[in-house]
Amino acid sequence: MALPRDYPGQDCTLARSLELIGERWTLLIVRDSFYGVRRFSDFLAHLKIPRAVLTERLAGLVTAGILAREPGPGGYDEYVTTEKGRALWPAVLSLIVWGDTYYAGKRGPLRVFTHTACGTPVDAASTCPACGVPVDVADLTVLAGPGLEGEEATGSLPVPHRMLDPININHRHPERPVATPAS
């Protein structure tokens, strides 16, 4: 029996948020949208998610206003991260940093996010230590971290890559510089 999608009787904004983004695959779709994945076929290829599940999750994200479906080049629709969706970046970054801290082990972080303007890695709050300013997701560049080897998600991204810039998952980039954390 499938678990219910809602939390009846929970008068809590966290419960309301989890009803939408707490479903399996949803946060990975949101993460990929930050990396610049926009086309259905690219989400499908990158996440190796069942087509029906991806269709359902994308429809839910569009209905919620987190992604917008827009016509793209070549006649294919694209899913673009909205302002409401971009507001999820601090939560996604916090989960990435938490995962790197507790699950990357000795390998180190899988990806490093830098302030595009100065190249300095941002902290867990997406603040640039060099500039002393909070950095919007659109002003970040993702680089391969020392723990990247064998990791499929970032492994299929062009590195370095400006966040939110469109990418095509089907094009791999043989030369990828690996970022080293600032000391």
pTM, 2 dp: 0.84
CA separation for the pair 179, 74 (Å, rounded)? 34
What tokens does 72 get? Answer: 């793209």
Query: 95, 81, 98: which is closest to 32 by C-alpha?
Result: 81
pLDDT at 179: 44
Q: Cα dihedral sign for 3, 9, 15, 17? A: positive
pLDDT at 156: 61
pLDDT at 171: 46
Contacts of 53 (CB under 8 A, 6+ apart): 24, 25
8 Å CB contact between 167 and 39: no
Tracing tokens 């680089």 back to the chain, one arrives at 143
**In degrees, to the nearest 5, what angle opens at C-alpha 27 toward C-alphas 26 and 28?**
90
**Beta-strand relationship, 127-128 and 161-162:** unpaired
Other CB atoms within 10 Å distance of the CB of residue 70: 10
- The secondary structure of residue 83, as a DSSP letter, is H
Could you list the mean pLDDT of each consecutive 10-residue stretch along the chain, which spans 183 residues? 66 84 93 95 93 97 97 92 97 94 85 96 95 96 83 61 85 43 39
pLDDT at 110: 85
CATH number corresponding to 13-85:
1.10.10.10
The CATH 1.10.10.10 domain(s) of the chain lie at 13-85
H/E segment holding residue 77: strand 77-81
pLDDT at 52: 97
